[in-house]
Structure 1
Amino acid sequence: MNVIETKIKDLLIFEPRVFADDRGWFMESFNQKNFEQALTERNLEIPKFVQDNHSYSQKGVLRGLHYQLNPHAQGKLVRVVQGRAWDVAVDIRQDSLTFGQWVGVELTGENHKQFWIPAGFAHGFIALEDNTQFLYKTTNYYSKESERSIVWNDENLKIDWPIINDLEMMLTEKDQNAPSFKALQWR
């Protein structure tokens, strides 16, 4: 497994080794020991995963930017198993040197990359192909009362979403009308 560090030290991209031949391919999609080793080597906290989620989206569906308040904050290990998505994590830890900064990565069913997003980050993605299937391993259970969001196109964050000219974006009303980054609701 190859571990790629990003401009925000807590956010990591994992590239598993894929063994392919005429029959198809095989990969280890998750290995707790290797995951812990990668985090330990970087002095990062080791999470315990408690829930797996699976979403299905058509091209243009944008989900996010979502986060949960403490004590229900969630870390997420995310990947796309079919299709293609642009995935984004925004640092919302007020005491962080990278507060308000974001990292984006393209996740596809073909590149097999996984994105580690610890608690303290808002998360969102846009499906760039029809039938995009997204898997999440989370470190805490979903809590509707703790869920919050930031508007996806916040003028202060300036996230470089890959908006394609013919792409008709689809958002929930909640995501379209989410508060701005300056109005974060983490209290």
Structure 2
Amino acid sequence: MKIIETQIAGLKVIKSDFFQDSRGLFSRFFCAKELELILNDRKIVQINYSVTNDLGAIRGMHYQNKPHSEMKIIRCLKGRVYDVAVDLRKGSQSFLKWYGVELSPESNLAYVIPEGFAHGFQVLEEDSQLLYLHTAFYSPEFEGAVRFDDPKINISWPLNPTDLSEKDKRHAYINEEFEGV
């Protein structure tokens, strides 16, 4: 596994090797020992799986507030997605900046999104499937979100958004009083 730094402190991409022979291929998706520097004292406590059907659909931009903040490691198992993280950390030099990476089985990349970031993605191939590893349990009462189209963030989505949940459509825009999480 190779850990790649992004231009936003704390956001990382993991490039896994894969080994292929006549039977197919093998790749290590997670190794606590190899990811020790990323995980520190964190433990993976929950693994989620999503399937998003429609091309252009967006899920996000979600996060968990303290004390239930979480680190996520996201990997695409089928299809292709444009995965985005937005820095919401109070006092961060990259506050409200975003970084996106294309995830697919062929790229064999995982996206490491630490606490204090909102996360979302857009489907670039129908029936895309994601696997999420979380360092905290989901707590609906500590859930937060920002709009996928908030002009203060100005995410450049690759496709026109085609499908959003009713809940994601109702997320508020960031106002002047928002100081971060």
| 2:74 corresponds to which of 74, 78, 81 | 78
* Residue-pair matches, total: 179
Distance between the aligned counterparts of 1:80 and 1:46, measured in 2? 25
Say yes or no: does 1:175 pair with 2:168: yes
Matched with 2:86 is: 90
Q: How high is the TM-score relative to the length of structure 1?
A: 0.89
Distance between the aligned counterparts of 1:33 and 1:22, measured in 2? 29
Distance between the aligned counterparts of 2:179 and 2:119, measured in 1? 15
Show the 5 A alignment for 1:104-119: 104-119=100-115
Q: How high is the TM-score relative to the length of structure 2?
A: 0.92
Say yes or no: does 1:23 pair with 2:18: no
Shift of 1:21: 2.1
Q: Which moved more, 1:175-184 or 1:149-158?
A: 175-184
Shift of 1:22: 2.6
Distance between the aligned counterparts of 1:8 and 1:137, measured in 2? 21
Shift of 1:36: 0.8
Distance between the aligned counterparts of 1:14 and 1:181, measured in 2? 30
Distance between the aligned counterparts of 2:93 and 2:137, measured in 1? 28
Say yes or no: does 1:143 pair with 2:136: no
| Contact residue 89 and residue 180 of structure 2 kept, 8 A | no
Deviations 1:124-160 (A, max 9, x none): 0011111111010001111111111100011111111
Stretches (4+) displaced over 4 A: 183-187
Alignment gaps of 5+ in structure 1? none
| 2:126 corresponds to which of 114, 118, 130 | 130
Alignment gaps of 5+ in structure 2? none
| Contact residue 87 and residue 124 of structure 1 kept, 8 A | yes
Deviations 1:103-136 (A, max 9, x none): 1000002111000001110000011111111010
Q: Alpha carbon RMSD of aligned pairs, Å?
A: 1.8
